[in-house]
Amino acid sequence: MTRYAFFQDQIVPIEQAQVSIMTHTFNYGTGCFAGIRAYWNDDTGELNVFRLEDHYKRFLESANLLRAELPYTPADLSAVTLELLAREGWRQDAYIRPLHYKTDEIIGVRVHGLTDAVAIFSVPMGDYLARGGIHACVSSWRRVDDNAIPARGKIIGAYANSSLIKSDAVLSGFDEAIVLNQDGHVSEGSAANLMLIRDGALITPPITDNILEGIVRRSLMTLAREELGLTVVERSIDRSELYRADEAFFCGTGVQIAPIARIDHRDIGNGGIGPITQQLSDLFFRVVRGQEPKYSAWLTKAPALESIETNE
Question: Which residue of 188, 203, 230, 262 would you call a contact of ligand PLP, by CB under 6 A?
Answer: 188
Nearer to ligand PLP, 23 or 190 (CB): 190
Please state, in angstroms and rounded to a whole number, the distance separating the CA atoms of residues 153 and 31. Answer: 10
Helix residue spans in 89-195 (DSSP H): 159-171
- Pairing, β 94-102 against β 32-33: antiparallel
Segments of the chain assigned E as strands:
4-7, 10-13, 32-33, 36-41, 46-50, 94-102, 116-124, 134-142, 176-180, 186-189, 193-198, 201-204, 232-234, 247-252, 256-263, 266-267, 299-301
Does 252 help bind ligand PLP (rule: CB under 6 A)? yes
- Cβ–Cβ under 8 Å, residues 245 and 264: no
As a residue count, the chain comes to 312
The residue among 5 and 179 lying less far from ligand PLP, judged by its C-beta, is 179
Name which of residues 123 to 142 contact ligand PLP (CB under 6 A): none
Residue number with CB closer to ligand PLP (178 or 216): 216
**Closer Cβ to ligand PLP, 48 or 253, answer by number:** 253
- Cβ 254 to ligand PLP, closest distance in Å? 5
Query: Which one among 99, 114, 212, 258 touches ligand PLP, defined by CB under 6 A?
Result: 212
> Is 30 a residue that touches ligand PLP (CB under 6 A)?
no
Rounded to the nearest whole angstrom, what is the least distance from the CB of residue 23 to ligand PLP in the complex? 22
Among 254, 269, 274, 290, binds ligand PLP (CB under 6 A): 254
DSSP H/E element including 242? helix 239-244
181 is an interface residue for ligand PLP by CB under 6 A:
no
Q: Rounded CA gap, 245 and 130, in Å?
A: 20
Beta carbon of residue 157, minimum distance to ligand PLP (angstroms, whole number) = 13
| For the chain, counts of helices (H) and of strands (E) | 8, 17
Q: Is 223 in the site for ligand PLP (CB under 6 A)?
A: no
Residue 9, sorted as left (phi over 0), alpha (psi -120 to 50) or beta, turns out to be left
Does 82 interact with ligand PLP (rule: CB under 6 A)?
Answer: no
Question: Smaller CB distance to ligand PLP: residue 213 or 241?
Answer: 213
In degrees and rounded to multiples of 5, residue 7 shows phi and psi of -155, 130
Count of CB atoms within 10 A of residue 57's CB?
Answer: 18
Stretch that binds ligand PLP, among 63-71, 166-174, 213-221, 280-288 (CB under 6 A): 213-221
Per CB under 6 A, 38 contacts ligand PLP? no
Which residues of this protein are in contact with ligand PLP, per CB under 6 A? 35, 162, 188, 191-193, 212, 214-217, 252-254
